[in-house]
Structure 1
Amino acid sequence: MAGSNISRDHIAMEAMKVLMEKTVSNNLTLKNRIRQFFGLNHKTYTAFDEKMIAKLSYEMADAMIAQREKIREEKL
């Protein structure tokens, strides 16, 4: 990664943000769905697998770094 100031951890963090946005699910009971519909206060619960998201994030970061290195080699 010589010449780059973007670290593996930074890339993984950005990937993690995207994965969390895409995988978080809101579970609303019927009562809370009705409350949400009428604009009343309601409770939401989020659920995601932190370990899996972290693993996938670093796999994505590694793939992005490998691609970046491949492009650099092709330019030489």
Structure 2
Amino acid sequence: MKRNYPPLRLTPQVAGKLQHDFDRISAQFNELKTLHVEFENQIRQALGADSLWSFRKAARNTILARQLASEIRA
């Protein structure tokens, strides 16, 4: 079923603030991605690719276990 949502009407001031916030958050996100890539590269160099893979797997499993536990509690 297709729904038609009315367009969002913003004042110029609110639209400008929204654009400014979006630009700021986008820049922070890009910086975080760059730091993440460099962090992974340094871990890979220091410990090896296998250790990085096992760290990723352990982190993913921990996150999934926390999400499952929170869903069970809810």
**Greater share of helix:** 2
Give the number of the structure whose alpha-carbon radius of gyration is greater: 2
Instruction: Please state which band the TM-score falls in when normalised by the shorter chain.
Output: 0.3 to 0.5
**Greater share of strand:** 1
TM-score with structure 1 setting the length: 0.41
TM-score with structure 2 setting the length: 0.42
